[in-house]
Chains A and B, each alone.
Chain A
Amino acid sequence: MFDRRLLLNFDWTLLLTVCALALIGTASLHSATSGWSGGGTPLYLKQLSWFGIGLVLALLICCFDYRHLEHLGFHFFAINLALLVAVLLFGKTTMGATRWLDLGFFNLQPSEIMKVVIIITFARYFSRNGHFRGHTLRELLVPFALLVVPVVLVLKQPDLGTALLILFIAVVMVLFAGISRGVLVLLILLAMLGAGSGWFMLHDYQKERIYTFLNPERDPLGSGYHIIQSKIAIGSGGTLGKGFMQGTQSQLSFLPERHTDFAFSVFAEEWGFAGCLLLLLLYLFLIVWGISIARRAADRFGMFLAVGVTAMLFWHIVVNLGMVIGLLPVVGVPLPLFSYGGTSMVTTMIGAGLLLNVSMRRFMF
């Protein structure tokens, strides 16, 4: 039977925030690609249709109680692992990376789904096994094992960006679940050690990107060019921007990949610091709202779920923005609701759907 309280408690604030961001993003995309010739549907319309699909998905997700996910969590995890292995075995290779399963009508990228699945898996684990006094090393063995396998599989593709994101999301959830001080120190040491040895596992081109990040002039034709041009675009936007569709940098094609990873640079050029401030406040509001959904969740599983989804959005936003403004190396992470691309849009909207779900059931026991 349908519970009327669900409708009454529907989280309009969240939905409106998401829609606002998506619309700003689409408008910016329209501007970024307005000069593009060639037939076919304009990219911003495609993006809009992806948003539509995402919206339907998010609303569908609201229709069932998220608590069912708790029981399905490990099944999802197992299936997703199998998909990741399948990618390594029969995946489709594009530009040297094997990340997709060709399903005929579309290409599935299991590593993207893994971001959501790891959230569900961890939420289940910590909601059942957790106490809040701080986990010991032994209690963290299971989540560690759950994390390492998919991360290694994703690294094999290779897809450093996604692997790092999965790791970051998991770290937030673990820290939130609480760990004892000794373990924290140990983990920090291990992370430093891991980063050190991980350096040697990086592909040459990935090392190259980090060198380039430290010194963009090193490879001004490659990723260094992106950073330099992105900074010029953003910086030249000034306080108030050059105006919608007036960004010379982006309109004159100096800015590469301006519709995907560097979508924000177009926006920043045309709307200036004022626009950026507004956009960042919107994103921050989304994060803060996510945290408050977690806080008000009806049960621990819902709380962890909300924390995980919020962490996913947070890292996407921070890594992408950090990258285009030259604070972080270029790793190819899309800006949620802003960068062109179906996968990113759908993943984000699934996350939003989960948040809506947890939010509207906060009064149900």
Chain B
Amino acid sequence: MNPNSAWSDKPDLTKRFLALLLVAVAVFLLLLLRLWNLQVINAERYQALSERNRIRYMPIAAPRGPIYDRDGHLLVDNRPAFGVSVMRQDVDDRDRLLERLSVYLEADREQLEGRLTAGRRFPFYRPVPLADDVSRDLLERVQENSLDLHGVLIEVQPLRSYPYEEAAAHIFGYLGEITDRELARFQGRGYRPGDFVGKTGMEQTLESYLRGTAGQRLVEVDVLGKELRVLQVQDPVPGNKVYLTLRRDVQLAAERALRGHAGSAVALDVRTGEVLALASLPSFNPALFARGISGSEWLELLQNPRHPLQNKAIKGQYPPASTFKIVTALAALRAGVATPNTRVECTGRFTLGNHEFRCWKRTGHGVTDLRKAMRESCDVWFYKVGLDLGIDRLAEMGQEFGLGQSLGIELAGEKEGLMPTRAWKRQRMGAPWYDGETVIAAIGQGFVLTTPLQLAVLTAAVANGGELLQPQLVKRVEGWDGQVFREARPEIIRKIDFGDGNLAAVRRSLEAAVNEPQATGRASRLESVRVAGKTGTAQVVRLRDEHRDRTVKETPYRFRDHALFVAYAPADDPEIAVAVVVEHGQSGGGTAAPIARAMLEAYFGLPVTEPAAPAGFYGD
């Protein structure tokens, strides 16, 4: 086509060019009219405004939303504190100002400078917070010298306070100063450098709900930036109220019972998946973070060998040991390789090829069926059954229980644990699977790794008839006007089919494991409520010979076994499931079961028996 074929109709375009011209002129006329209006008609008004254009908007920080337990007990609150900020546009001599402030505030000059520099990206007219939670004495000094400190102002900042100090610190998480990256991510939501945002836990997960909306004051200032009068105040709106699924008494009982140990305890409502308690010890005091943690305090937390900052309930990965026998039993029964009446002669050892696997009881349990095997935690019965079952069927059941997967709790950093299979080993290690590995997997040793949360969810599924529930921590998020933003609803991840009668048989054996004479879990027994449960003692390292015959006290801490216990109650109509893992606690029945018992007592409103303090903990 000849591009100019239609060029002959060019004259017709006159109209269009005229239209372009008219539109352009009209639009410019409109702009001019507006300028006329601003600059000629309203000039005096704007001149007056600019004459004493000393009007400024000062932000008023909003308190973060309070956090309650499920029954409305206040767990995290705010207290008023004073912070020192700088209005950059009023600063005449930056270096001098920093010098003086570092003296008056007894603060590190570089730290102050760092914050001021971070504020550079923001408009001049926004105060940049330099120091938080300043003591009254220092504040007075700043106030007395205010004439000398152009651009410095004192702002009231609400700070987090924690009535129960270290309790549930891992769930709440802590606040920290906003980073450049976060500033960019939250752009347009009104954050400024120096603001505090949730870094971990619920503070992080629910940041947008907890934060609230800053208010502001319209103030008139003089040329030096000194406030003359307040013209208008818009109050801040505090963050929304968060109700967690926790029950304060169960949480506190768990933490008290765990005191002196490193480990964690989880309690779930087996009907809803709601987390009633989630304790991880040692803990830390989140109040340290509320006003900005010092370098040395932070280093101390980081370097503590028992990892107080780690939430062991979701990040600790441990061999489930004998608590895993629940999975092995259910898998074997479902697959038909065993029945509750399958009898195995336990001589204290189990031979496979030329290797010998021992039962924890060296003298053996004699003839053993499912109930006895569970009650007395006979390893040989499970070695035999596990071998007949094979790793893949065992792993299938484990995976149905959520092992080796993240469960999607509302906390960042949940670990997945590991449920090994043949395929996994080939891919990961390039090696075939050996029967010996199946044998030890059947008693929850070897490659199997679980988090305490996974153990609790597993136990809850056994208790509620096979529903794997997603664990939930947020019961409700509610605005101050009563508007509900978020509400927990039970979420079933999957329904597990165990085959007829199998679950009932296993549950009876778990009752036996707590209540009958010889039971390994007797320390969790309650008078008024029937408990079902299972102990576990996980080998940390194959004990070196020199430690084999030592007593607990003589064994170095790091070589001691982990102590585990899972339970639910009441046995016939379960409401609560608990899982306890005590690192290097040595004995599931001796150390972990009493902690579970304390939690159950708290839950059922019984007087709580506190377990004895651990022996030798501080010694080694």
Of the listed stretches B42-50, B244-252, B269-277, chain A binds B42-50
- Indicate if B32 sits at the interface (CB-CB under 8 A): yes
Query: What per-residue 1/0 map shows which CB atoms of A267-278 lie under 8 Å from chain B?
Result: 010001100110
- Indicate if B548 sits at the interface (CB-CB under 8 A): no
Cβ-closest chain A residue relative to B32: A280
Cβ-closest chain B residue relative to A277: B32
Query: What per-residue 1/0 map shows which CB atoms of B29-44 lie under 8 Å from chain A?
Result: 0111011101110110
> Do A231 and B188 touch across chains, with their CB atoms under 8 A apart?
no
Chain B nearest CB: distance from A62 CB in Å? 22
> Do B24 and A273 touch across chains, with their CB atoms under 8 A apart?
no
Q: How far is the CA of A239 from the CA of B38 in the complex (A)?
A: 10
Contacts of A208 in B (CB 8 A): 188
Q: How far is the CA of A221 from the CA of B57 in the complex (A)?
A: 6
Q: How far is the CA of A280 from the CA of B30 in the complex (A)?
A: 11
Q: How far is the CA of A326 from the CA of B9 in the complex (A)?
A: 42
Of the listed stretches B123-131, B257-265, B501-509, chain A binds B123-131
> Do B184 and A256 touch across chains, with their CB atoms under 8 A apart?
no
- Indicate if B136 sits at the interface (CB-CB under 8 A): no
Contacts of B296 in A (CB 8 A): none
> Do B124 and A253 touch across chains, with their CB atoms under 8 A apart?
yes
Query: What per-residue 1/0 map shows which CB atoms of B49-65 lie under 8 Å from chain A?
Result: 11101000101000000
> Do A299 and B216 touch across chains, with their CB atoms under 8 A apart?
no
Given A239-B39, A273-B36: 6 more A-B contacts, CB < 8 Å: A93-B184, A221-B190, A221-B216, A234-B35, A248-B50, A254-B125
Interface positions of B (Cβ within 8 A of A): 1, 3-4, 6-7, 9, 12-13, 16-17, 20-21, 24-25, 27-28, 30-32, 34-36, 38-40, 42-43, 45-47, 49-51, 53, 57, 59, 89, 123-126, 184-185, 187-190, 216, 218
- Indicate if A156 sits at the interface (CB-CB under 8 A): no
> Do A96 and B7 touch across chains, with their CB atoms under 8 A apart?
no
Chain B nearest CB: distance from A318 CB in Å? 6
Chain B nearest CB: distance from A298 CB in Å? 10
Task: Give 7 nearest A-B pairs by CB, closest first.
Answer: A205-B188, A235-B46, A236-B50, A96-B187, A238-B43, A273-B39, A235-B38
> Do A300 and B7 touch across chains, with their CB atoms under 8 A apart?
yes
> Do B38 and A291 touch across chains, with their CB atoms under 8 A apart?
no
- Indicate if A342 sits at the interface (CB-CB under 8 A): no
Of the listed stretches A43-51, A103-111, A123-131, chain B binds A123-131
Partner of B46 from the list A236, A276, A294 (CB cut-off 8 Å) is A236
Q: How far is the CA of A9 from the CA of B232 in the complex (A)?
A: 63
Contacts of A314 in B (CB 8 A): 24, 27
Given A284-B28, A318-B27, A325-B31, A238 contacting B39 (CB threshold 8 A): yes
Q: What are 25 of the A-B contact pairs (CB < 8 Å)? A: A94-B184, A95-B187, A178-B16, A205-B187, A220-B218, A225-B123, A229-B53, A232-B50, A235-B46, A236-B49, A238-B40, A238-B47, A253-B125, A268-B35, A272-B39, A273-B40, A276-B39, A280-B35, A291-B17, A299-B4, A300-B4, A301-B3, A318-B27, A325-B35, A327-B30
Chain B nearest CB: distance from A59 CB in Å? 27
Contacts of B35 in A (CB 8 A): 234, 268, 273, 276-277, 280, 325
- Indicate if A252 sits at the interface (CB-CB under 8 A): yes
- Indicate if A132 sits at the interface (CB-CB under 8 A): yes
- Indicate if A203 sits at the interface (CB-CB under 8 A): yes
- Indicate if A321 sits at the interface (CB-CB under 8 A): yes
> Do A307 and B38 touch across chains, with their CB atoms under 8 A apart?
no
